[in-house]
Chain A
Amino acid sequence: MSQLGTKKAEVDLPVRTKYEESRRQKTGVFFKKKVGWLFIIVSVIAITIFNFYPMVQAFLLSFQSGMGANLEYVGLDNWRRLFGDPTFIAALTNTTIYLLIQVPLMIVLALFFSVLLNDPKLKFKSFFRIAIFLPCVTSLVAYSVVFKYLFGIDGIVNQFLLNFGLIPQTINFLADPFWAKVVIILAITWRWTGYNMIFYLAALQNVDKSIYEAARIDGASSFQQFFQITVPMLKPIILFTSITSTIGTLQIFDEIVNITNGGPGNATISISQYIYNLSFEYTPDFGYASTVSYVIVILVVILSIIQFRVAGEKK
């Protein structure tokens, strides 16, 4: 912003005196920097107070343990405790499973839909776009509850499968460790695919049509066009969506709590739900809870670095 401002000022001042010129040379860089800081100082302070300060405090908290307000420093005990804590390991495993299956599935689906919906010959284009995007505007809790009932033992999914003879007897989706995970993954995919699709659609509008035209003249098939042109052109967006989706999935909470509440047993519990349980469901241990929170931070950092590397972005 500040740069734009100064540039405009230069244009507005066609005649410069020698004095002004020399003054600019002397103070220019520093002056610009200061003005720049001035513009962002409010946000810097706000971010420091509301983001960095809590982060530092949470980091300090992760070395403390105790019930409620009786916290004391325990060094690395919390971190040691992590690796011997079966519930944490279950939560980490579940979250990893969601991540590994759901994110690629969703990205591919979103890409697929966006390419379909970008077809200039497609009719009722906006209807389909809205239909796929619509899940995004529903509240997390509301759609979770709907999914819970859809997949209930008397739910419509069971009825449907039974009536078409696809299963011999009803499946108790939410009480089965495998199917419960499947339901969660289906639910998140339904909710977020449209959201990611919008990014791809927007990016596709910016791909120069002449590239496709040239490809067609050279005899490239649709598949070749997709993999050789569309995917490379969308690479930055794919990277962006996969990072945001990864972070989102690592933090998954609402769906789990409302659909299965972590059950059966710990079969669907996520890291965030475990943090919640440690803080509010069980006798509160905020120290250990923030240690678990920092695991998410570390994971996000590691995964983002990997994604940048894989996508070949050199800073």
Chain B
Amino acid sequence: MKKFNLMFVAAASMAALAACSSGDEEASGGSGAEGSADVDEITAWAWDPAFNIAALENAKEAYNGDGDYEVNVIENAQDDIIQKLNTGLSSGTTNGMPNIVLIEDYRAQSFLQAYPDAFHPLTDVINAEDFADYKIATTSFDGEQYGLPFDSGVAALYVRTDYLEEAGYSVEDVTDITWQEYIEIGKDVKEATGKNMLTLDPNDLAQVRMMIQTNGSWYVEEDGSTPNIAGNETLEAGFETYKEMMEADIAKIVSDWSQFVGAFNSGDVASVPTGNWITPSVKQAADQSGNWAVVPMPRLDMEGAVNASNLGGSSWYVLNVDGKEQAADFLLNTFGSNPDLYQTLVEDIGALGTYSPAAEGDAYAVEDEFFGGQQLITDLSTWTDEIPAVNYGLHTYAIEDILVTGMQDYLNGAELDTVLENVQGQAEAQLK
């Protein structure tokens, strides 16, 4: 009797084990299955309820195709999305994966290359020429268009007109300038008002990233993977400018987002050079209405550099799972071809897309009282078209982590050439 029990337990547990493994096979075998047009619900993942999620909800309203399915919008933190995608896609199972997912442009290439068959190409679905060039470069891979470009990260210089005036400058004086001119103005502003010109976070090289993109350069070469640090003249200029700003004592040092926002909301700094998504945060300080203007990003003082750059921004991707046709259909009939949607996005949530035909809409021409009646959206979308296209490649954040250490050394007096060569060596060693 006892023996029988023992064997029974053993057999039962073997069965359980077998069930587990066969379950796995089924799941992975089911991935990438063709067809099944009868999917009646698709899922979309994005982060930031006030921005991307709101954009998706607007898109659901604006959908003008004839597909019959539900779109299930799920909010996840960006870090969680990255983790879930990585673990899910690398394990080979597509169970629980969404149909549509938002991916930050700096990370797009690494996903596209790390999981070659995981994404559904949209080459035949959308018209790439309708979107800003620089967005296309980051969202395509191997001749296929994978991403549907979403928000513009067009960078701009937000300036306090009252502080500038006090120092004897007008808005024209800060329009289309170089970083060197910016630093000189910054010194005068500090002398006249006692306010710092900008905030800098030594742990975040966003400032340098924006600078080098004005000259069409990046941390990696065209191939997207070879580190382009040592001997990269644009990056050298970026580092030098950064150090000049530190040494000119025109920067308030911050160490996180809340200090960054706090600095300009409380009127501690005279300008904010950053992505246009900062607009809502700038407007939080309602008492400063009318004292702000937005001008193009300063450029590096180099041949070929332009007064336009980018910071952040993300795009929509369709995963290669059941329901991909529906997902592509949804994107096409919303973000892909619907200029009216973009008007609502601008009006309701201040989200600036990169869909060029939308720029002719009325909402883009609205004059913004907070910025002294400036046609902010029109200006931003004009600058968006001028952003030099670069291949962000695979290693933006990995290289930046190494560069941050290099920047510390450089600020502490190390030779720039040596610093950059060190970073290059480390990056090459790490990014095999």
Contact = CB atoms under 8 A, between A and B. Distances in A.
B95 to A, nearest CB: 15
A2 interface: no
A5 B426 CA distance: 62
A284 B86 contact: yes
Contacts of A281: 397-398, 401
B116 to A, nearest CB: 7
B402 interface: yes
Contact of A263 (B89, B203, B402): B203
B414 interface: no
Nearest to B201: A175
Given A41-B9, A69-B92, A264-B202, A81 B86 contact: no
Interface stretch (B107-115, B140-148, B286-294, B300-308): B107-115
B255 A153 contact: yes
Please indicate which of the listed interface residues A86, A262, A284 has the most CB atoms of chain B within 10 Å of its own CB: A284
Please indicate which of the listed interface residues B118, B395, B404 has the most CB atoms of chain A within 10 Å of its own CB: B404
Given A87-B402, A87-B430, A264-B202, A174 B110 contact: no
Interface in A23-37: 31, 34-35, 37
B5 to A, nearest CB: 7
Contacts of B16: 45
A86 B203 CA distance: 18
Interface string B404-428: 1100100000000000000000100
Given A266-B401, A283-B398, A153 B253 contact: yes
A284 B202 CA distance: 26
Nearest to A274: B401
A280 B82 contact: yes
B10 A175 contact: no
Contacts of A264: 202-203, 404, 408
Interface residues on B, range: 35 or more
A14 interface: no
Interface in A188-204: none
Contact of B255 (A68, A174, A277, A284): A174
A48 B103 CA distance: 37
Contact of A70 (B10, B114, B394, B426): B114
Contact of A68 (B13, B86, B429): B86
A172 interface: yes
B79 interface: yes
B50 interface: no
B123 interface: no
B86 A263 contact: no
A67 B426 contact: no
Given A86-B426, A153-B255, A279 B86 contact: yes
A87 B203 contact: no
A265 B408 contact: yes
B33 interface: no
A38 B202 contact: no
A304 interface: no
Contacts of B111: 68
B1 interface: no
Interface in A275-291: 277, 279-284, 286
Nearest to B10: A41
Interface in B183-215: 202-203
Contacts of B255: 152-153, 172, 174-175
Contacts of B429: 81, 84-86
Contacts of B404: 263-265
Nearest to B13: A45
A49 B13 CA distance: 11
Given A86-B426, A263-B203, A266-B401, A284 B6 contact: no
A87 B426 contact: yes
A71 to B, nearest CB: 8
A116 to B, nearest CB: 37
Interface in A136-163: 148, 152-154
A19 to B, nearest CB: 17
Given A45-B13, A87-B426, A283-B394, A69 B401 contact: no
Contacts of B382: none
Nearest to A66: B114
Nearest to A81: B432
Given A280-B79, A284-B90, A65 B9 contact: no
B77 interface: no
Contact of B9 (A38, A67, A86): A38
Interface in A171-229: 172, 174-175
Contacts of A42: 13
Nearest to A68: B114
Contacts of A93: none
B17 interface: yes
Interface string A62-93: 00010111100000010001001111000000
B37 interface: no
B203 A283 contact: no
Nearest to A37: B6
A128 to B, nearest CB: 35
A68 B89 contact: yes
A69 B203 CA distance: 31
Contacts of A45: 13, 16-17
B430 A49 contact: no
Interface string A231-253: 00000000000000000000000
Contact of B13 (A35, A41, A175, A286): A41
A31 B6 CA distance: 11
B259 interface: yes
A96 interface: no
Contact of B401 (A81, A87, A175): A87
B83 A261 contact: no
B397 A282 contact: yes
A162 to B, nearest CB: 17
Given A264-B404, A266-B401, 6 more contacts: A45-B16, A87-B402, A172-B253, A261-B203, A263-B203, A284-B110
Interface of B: 2, 5-6, 9-10, 13, 16-17, 20, 79, 82-83, 86, 89-90, 92, 110-111, 113-116, 118, 202-203, 253, 255-256, 259, 394-395, 397-398, 401-402, 404-405, 408, 426, 429-430, 432
25 contacts: A35-B2, A38-B6, A67-B113, A67-B114, A68-B90, A68-B110, A68-B113, A69-B90, A86-B402, A86-B430, A148-B256, A152-B255, A153-B259, A261-B203, A262-B401, A263-B404, A265-B203, A280-B79, A280-B83, A281-B397, A283-B110, A283-B114, A283-B398, A284-B110, A286-B90
